[in-house]
């Protein structure tokens, strides 16, 4: 190398180093240009970098080969480097020279050795960072993950100072497990990929869609794209086979947050808001899209409070039984009562609607139901011991019990320990929407009946009523939900009025006892009478009563029929 070559080497080498160390503004073009000029200076004909994720991949020849510099006349290698990185990936760099070129001098080889050494280490570091990025910000299937989402939002906040131009959403694909079950996992994965691509397309270049795990996705997009995104959320057909012949309908339950100007700034705040709204959407199939509002967070806090206070509340006997009479409308006689739970908390009575759905989500409801059964048994035992007249008391059992294989033993243990006759207890069960649930319901109802308990189907007519439910399960009592009971101003010809009559005659035909719930007016009592429904429960007779009030009610005898 003459003096000018050495000078040129220094200039180029420095230029290359400068490109490499300025990590914030890495200029690839300048970097490649410096490398090419260096290659020309050393009379190289080709430079190849090979990258293997593992040593095994290297052995099997499965890697990425990058030709960094190629003059098209490779002949013999003059220098080669192989390094094993910390993450166990392998990088090999080889330089070639054409046979007709002047061989490299000792001094040139030394300099080239230095360049290659620096270069390979630089590539190793870049690759390592890319692996870290892949591990940290993408899931196993290559979808950007929740950390990617959080980082994306944080960088938007840093750049724009606010997210108020954006809408964020968290979605859960509805019935997606059914797609997997019906068409297979592969088809499910393909459908998810295609759905994801549609969403990513709608969210545009300055939006993002990430996978939160399973069939949950989070997205952020400019507000003007809302309509486009919503169209996809409300359901689109997507291809689910490689040939493109089969399509499934994919739709979502979504929690959406139109980020306002004064929204709390952190990405964490946004995620917790859209997640909360999504959970609400998921619980309620009628509202597949739920827009976040601040009330939801306080609802969530209330829910957390219920879960936190529940164990102590049960120990402190804060849950009490209220009894609502069931009445024979012909004689005014009290023929039974339903045990309904009330929570006495800090001087207030909390109605079941505020805590039962919460406890159902964690299955703590089972503990509460057994506690209620215990309290009812103690009352019945006491009434029997005091020589009072008793009535059959029905206790509600949540669907959550259905998967409990020892449910019958648990119930028997409580009732027998209190020495309560089995015919004094009725168990109210509600319908379920799944086949598995149906089979469990059948098993539970049969087991309870075999042990002499009366079993009723609660809220019949709401939710998942099916004729199969009354054909396959030997119920004793059908409790007709108040949504089936015509209101005072309902004409006799209305669908509700006619169905009500038919449901009752069908139940009677099948030998079932009928109770209509939610009877509030004398006109409704008339409707029951006309339709031969003999038993009623409702505010017309009494609201649920405390134990003292109920005992008093029993003492007073029948209701007046002309009431
Ligand atoms: P449910 O089992 O269908 O109970 C009947 C509900 O209707 C009770 O509400 C009762 O107060 C109300 N009701 C009765 N008559 C009338 C009326 O004339 N008009 C109107 N508008 N409502 C009437 P409550 O006590 O608030 O209970 C609500 C639900 O909470 C119950 O519905 C039941 O599903 C659940 N629940 C209550 N206690 C328990 C319990 O101990 N365990 C379980 N698993 N669920 C319970
Ligand atoms: Mg009930
Ligand atoms: Mg009911």
**Of residues 116 and 414, more confidently modeled:** 414
**Ligand 1, residues 320, 374, 517: which to mutate, most atoms within 8 A of Cβ?**
517
Phi and psi for 324 in degrees, rounded to 5? -110, 120
Confidence of residue 365 (pLDDT cuts 50, 70, 90): very high
Q: What is the pLDDT of residue 86?
A: 67
The parent domain of residue 69 ranges over: 3-137
Query: Does 173 lie in the same domain as 35?
Result: no
Determine, yes or no, domain membership for 513: yes
Ligand nearest to the backbone CA of 323 = 1
- Asked which of 248, 264, 292 is the last residue of a domain, the reply is 292
Q: What is the pLDDT of residue 130?
A: 76
Give the ligand 1 atom nearest the CA of 398. Answer: 44
List, in sequence order, every beta strand (DSSP E) within 129-268.
166-173, 208-213, 216-222, 236-239, 247-250, 252-258
Query: Does 365 lie in the same domain as 495?
Result: yes
Contact 97, 78 (CB under 8 A): yes
Q: How far is the CA of 458 from the centre of ligand 2 (A)?
A: 5
**Does ligand 1 have an atom closer than 6 angstroms to the CB of 341?**
yes
Q: Render the burial of 263-283: b for 16+ CB within 10 Å, e for the rest.
A: beeebeebbbbbbbbbbbbbe
Q: Render the burial of 343-362: b for 16+ CB within 10 Å, e for the rest.
A: bebeeeebebeebbebbeee
Domains contained in the chain, number:
3
Structure tokens at 406: 């020892």
Determine, yes or no, domain membership for 194: yes
| CA gap 404, 429 in Å, rounded | 14
- CA 352, chain centre distance (Å): 24
- Asked which of 265, 292, 319 is the last residue of a domain, the reply is 292
* Bridge partners (DSSP) listed for residue 308: none
Q: Render the burial of 520-559: b for 16+ CB within 10 Å, e for the rest.
A: beeebbebbeebebbbbbbebbbebbebeebbebbeeeeb
Query: Does 269 lie in the same domain as 154?
Result: yes
Q: Say yes or no to pLDDT of 562 above 70.
A: no
Residues by chain with Cβ below 5 Å of ion ligand 3: 458-459, 517
Give the ligand 1 atom nearest the CA of 351. Answer: 26
Alpha helices for 354-478 (secondary structure H) = 356-362, 365-385, 407-417, 435-450, 467-472
Ligand nearest to the backbone CA of 460 = 3
The residue written with tokens 């993950």 in the block is 145
| CA gap 60, 54 in Å, rounded | 10
How does the average pLDDT of the chain come out, rounded? 90
Ligand nearest to the backbone CA of 398 = 1
Structure tokens at 301: 């806090």
Query: Does 320 lie in the same domain as 219?
Result: no
**Does ligand 1 have an atom closer than 6 angstroms to the CB of 371?**
no
Query: pLDDT (tens digit, 9 = 90+) per residue, 433-488?
Result: 777 788 899 999 999 999 999 999 999 988 766 788 888 898 999 999 999 999 99
117 Cβ contact list (under 8 Å, min separation 6): 81
Q: What is the mean pLDDT of residues 394-412?
A: 94
Query: Does 65 lie in the same domain as 175?
Result: no
Q: How far is the CA of 340 from the centre of ligand 1 (A)?
A: 6
Query: Does 250 lie in the same domain as 356?
Result: no
- Asked which of 103, 137, 171 is the last residue of a domain, the reply is 137
Query: Does 281 lie in the same domain as 309?
Result: no
Q: What is the pLDDT of residue 289?
A: 92
Determine, yes or no, domain membership for 329: yes
Query: Does 120 lie in the same domain as 208?
Result: no
Q: What is the pLDDT of residue 329?
A: 97
Determine, yes or no, domain membership for 297: no
Q: Say yes or no to pLDDT of 275 above 80.
A: yes
Confidence of residue 85 (pLDDT cuts 50, 70, 90): confident
Query: Does 208 lie in the same domain as 342?
Result: no
Q: What is the pLDDT of residue 504?
A: 94
The 3-state DSSP composition of the chain as helix, strand, coil percent (nearest 5) reads 50, 25, 30
pLDDT over 70, % of the chain: 98
Contact 515, 536 (CB under 8 A): yes
């Amino acid at each position: 190398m003459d003096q000018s070559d050495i000078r040129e080497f220094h200039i180029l080498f420095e230029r290359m180093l400068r490109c490499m160390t300025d990590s914030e503004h890495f200029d690839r073009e300048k970097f490649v240009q410096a490398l090419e000029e260096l290659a020309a200076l050393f009379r190289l004909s080709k430079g190849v970098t090979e990258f293997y994720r593992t040593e095994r991949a290297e052995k099997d020849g499965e890697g990425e080969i990058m030709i960094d510099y190629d003059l098209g006349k490779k002949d013999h290698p003059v220098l080669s480097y192989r390094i094993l990185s910390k993450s166990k990936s392998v990088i090999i760099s080889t330089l070639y020279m054409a046979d007709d070129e002047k061989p490299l001098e000792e001094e040139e080889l030394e300099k080239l050795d230095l360049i290659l050494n620096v270069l390979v280490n630089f590539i190793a570091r870049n690759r390592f960072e890319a692996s870290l990025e892949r591990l940290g910000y993408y899931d196993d299937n290559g979808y950007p993950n929740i950390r990617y989402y959080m980082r994306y939002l944080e960088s938007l906040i840093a750049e724009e100072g606010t997210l108020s131009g954006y809408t964020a959403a968290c979605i859960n694909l509805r019935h997606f497990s059914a797609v997997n079950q019906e068409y297979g996992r592969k088809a499910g994965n393909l459908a998810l990929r295609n759905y994801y691509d549609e969403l990513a397309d709608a969210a545009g270049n300055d939006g993002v869609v990430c996978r939160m795990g399973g069939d949950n996705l989070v997205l952020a997009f400019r507000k003007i794209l809302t309509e486009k995104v919503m169209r996809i959320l409300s359901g689109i057909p997507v291809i689910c086979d490689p040939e493109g012949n089969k399509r499934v309908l994919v739709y979502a339950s979504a929690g959406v947050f139109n980020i306002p100007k004064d929204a709390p700034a952190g990405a964490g705040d946004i995620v917790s808001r859209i997640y909360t709204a999504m959970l609400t959407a998921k619980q309620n199939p009628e509202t597949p899209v739920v827009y976040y509002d601040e009330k939801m967070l306080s609802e969530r806090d209330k829910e957390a409070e219920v879960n936190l206070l529940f164990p102590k509340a049960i120990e402190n006997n804060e849950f009490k039984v209220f009894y609502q009479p069931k009445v024979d409308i012909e004689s005014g006689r009290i023929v039974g009562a339903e045990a309904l739970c009330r929570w006495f908390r800090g001087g207030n009575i909390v109605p079941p609607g505020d805590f039962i759905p919460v406890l159902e989500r964690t299955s703590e409801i089972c503990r509460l139901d057994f506690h209620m059964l215990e309290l009812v048994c103690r009352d019945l035992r006491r009434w029997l011991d005091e020589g009072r007249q008793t009535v059959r008391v029905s206790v509600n059992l949540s669907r959550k019990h259905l998967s409990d294989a020892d449910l019958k033993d648990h119930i028997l243990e409580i009732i027998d320990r209190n020495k309560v006759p089995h015919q004094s207890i009725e168990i109210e069960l509600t319908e379920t929407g799944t086949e598995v649930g149906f089979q469990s319901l059948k098993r539970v109802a049969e087991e309870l009946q075999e042990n002499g308990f009366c079993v009723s189907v609660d809220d019949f007519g709401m939710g998942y009523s099916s004729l199969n439910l009354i054909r396959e399960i030997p119920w004793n009592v059908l409790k007709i939900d108040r949504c089936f009971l015509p209101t005072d101003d309902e004409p006799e010809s209305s669908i509700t009025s006619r169905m009500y009559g038919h449901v009752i005659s069908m139940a009677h035909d099948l030998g079932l006892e009928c109770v209509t719930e939610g009877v509030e007016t004398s006109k409704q009592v008339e409707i029951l009478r006309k339709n031969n429904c003999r038993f009623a429960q409702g505010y017309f007779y009494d609201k649920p009563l405390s134990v003292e009030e109920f005992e008093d009610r029993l003492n007073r005898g029948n209701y007046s029929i002309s009431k």
